[in-house]
Each structure stands twice: as structure tokens, then as C-alpha cells.
Amino acid sequence: MMIVVVLALLQTALGVEARQAPLDHYEWMAVAPIVVGATSLGENGKFVEIEITHRIRGDVKVGAMLSIDVKHTNRNRSRTVNPRGLRLLEGDSFLLLLSPSPEHKSRKHSYRVVRGVAGARELPLEGADAVVQPLQVLAAIQDLDDDGRRWDEMWRLFEEDSPLLIETSLAQSIKFSRVRADHLDVVRPLLEHPEADIRRRTAEIIRLIVKRTGAQNLEDGASVRNELVSTARRDPAIDVRAAATEALSVFDGSVIDDILREIAETDPEQMVRYIAQKALIERRPGS
């Protein structure tokens, strides 16, 4: 009983409860009929004029000049969350979520920012294509009118080179629990990816697959387990070790108990030790 109380206190102290994270690009742009990369040309009355540099979605053209009703955005913002409001400074580049402005039909090419202040994100001048091109792929997937095709295209992104595409495919598959056993061999190499967020999500998706399929039904279950053990013990990123430790907990056997016990006693980070301790408690008979 005391251990359970201690773990509960640790959970509160560590903030293990889920917190609302910023939307990833895929979910961020899902509600917008027009998504562009653009450079601000400066203020023109209540509007900010922009030049489109990249078309991601919508009936607009690269090189077109649009008027953005920034005052409407700032007038309707939450001043607690966004005290300064939206500023599209001349010369800066942005990703923008837009929709035609219903209030200014007489002003051609007048638009509002979808999602308010949150509907603009900085776009680096150098390397913009590395951001925009993956977003064009994701927008094309969103615009498919068949859910089955949409998921087929999303799963193909597991094998893309772009970290943004890989992470989006992993995140969406985890969020909606859309995984299959045959995805396992495709995602396993991502445990070695240089980006920690991708390694973490890979451990999470492996956990989902193993839990759904059953470790005993995996053709190469021992190798999958050993890869997770290596990640849980040695990965330099705390979140990755934590995710791999949690993934190990879906495997049966006393060997896993011993490994979880070792992690609970030796990992230098409290959060990882907590997850291992919690897994050990949940694995007890009758838990």
C-alpha cells in the first residue's frame, strides 16, 4: 500500500498526467481551406499585405498578394493567452491558415486568419522547402475523400526521409490506435532514428502493436523485446527510455520482471524509475 501511495505522489510531482500539447502541423492545418507560406509586405491600414511564396492548400497562387485582416484576429483574441496579439512584421515569413473574409467582399483578396493568433507560425527563410514540402504531402492526404486511402497514405510515411512526415504518421497512428501487426517490421528501425521524438513514438507504437497482437503471436518477438531492452537501458533521451520501459511491460515473463526491476533501481531519472516501478506493480497477480 505504501508503494502505491509513493508512486501516486511521484506521479503528481513529475506531472505524468497528460497535458495539452501544441497541435502538430497536421492537426493545426486540418481546419483551414487555405494554407500558405508567405512573406509580410507590411501594414496597409487595418490589413497586412502578404505575398504568397508557397501554396500548400487552397485556390491561391504563388506570387499572389493577399490582404490579411490582422485587426480582426487581434480584436477577438484571448488577451490572457495572447497579450501581444498577432504581428506579421514586414520582411518576416510565416505559415498561415486562411479563409476568405466575409466582411470585406468589396476588397479583393481579403482574408482572415483561421485559428486566430495561433493560425500563424514562423517560416524560416532558409530551408523553408524542408518544412513546406512535407506539409504539401500532408495536406494532400487530408484532402482525400476516402478514409481507407487516407490511412494507407499515412502509413506509407513511416518509410519517408522527412522527420516531419515520419513523426506525423507515428503520432496519428498512436492517437487513433490505427496499427497493424505488419507495421512492426517497418517501424522497428526507427528506434535508431537520430531524432528522440521519433524514437519515443516508435516505442509507443511498438507497444500498441504488441499489446494488440500478443507477444506470443509475433514471429520475431524475442528480437523486438531485445531492441526495446537496449533502448530502455541505453537511450540518452529520458522520454525515449521511459517509452521503451513502458513498451517492455506488455511482454510476459520473469526475464522482463528482472529487467524492469533493474531499471527501477538503476536508471538515473526519477520518471523512468517511476514507470518501471508502476509496471512491476501492475504485473503482480491480481493487480
Instruction: Express each pLDDT in 188-203 by its tens digit.
Output: 999 999 999 999 999 9
Q: Final residue of a domain: which of 103, 124, 145?
A: 124
Domain-embedded: residue 44:
yes
* Residue 106 and residue 31 in one domain: yes
3-state secondary structure of 122: strand
Q: Is pLDDT at 113 greater than 60 in this prediction?
A: yes
**Domain hosting residue 80, numbered range:** 25-124
Is the overall model pTM greater than 0.85, yes or no? yes
**CATH label of the domain that carries residue 85:** 2.40.50.140
Evaluated on CA atoms 259, 262, 268, 274, the torsion sign reads positive
CB atoms within 10 A of CB 26: 21
Domain-embedded: residue 129:
no
Domain-embedded: residue 158:
no
Q: What is the reported pLDDT for 19? A: 44
- Give the chain's domain count: 2
* Residue 177 and residue 276 in one domain: yes
CB atoms within 10 A of CB 78: 9
Radius of gyration of the chain from Cα atoms? 23
* Residue 274 and residue 182 in one domain: yes
Instruction: Express each pLDDT in 11-21 by its tens digit.
Output: 444 444 344 56
Q: What is the reported pLDDT for 105? A: 60
Q: What integer is the mean pLDDT of 41-67? A: 95
**CATH label of the domain that carries residue 270:** 1.25.10.10
Domain-embedded: residue 12:
no
Domain-embedded: residue 153:
no
Least confident range of 72-76, 103-107, 186-190, 215-219: 103-107
Residue whose grid cell is 521519433: 198
* Residue 118 and residue 45 in one domain: yes
**Nearest partner of 53 among 115, 126, 141, 116, judged by Cα:** 126
C-alpha cell at 127: 530551408
Q: Final residue of a domain: which of 70, 105, 124?
A: 124
* Residue 107 and residue 178 in one domain: no
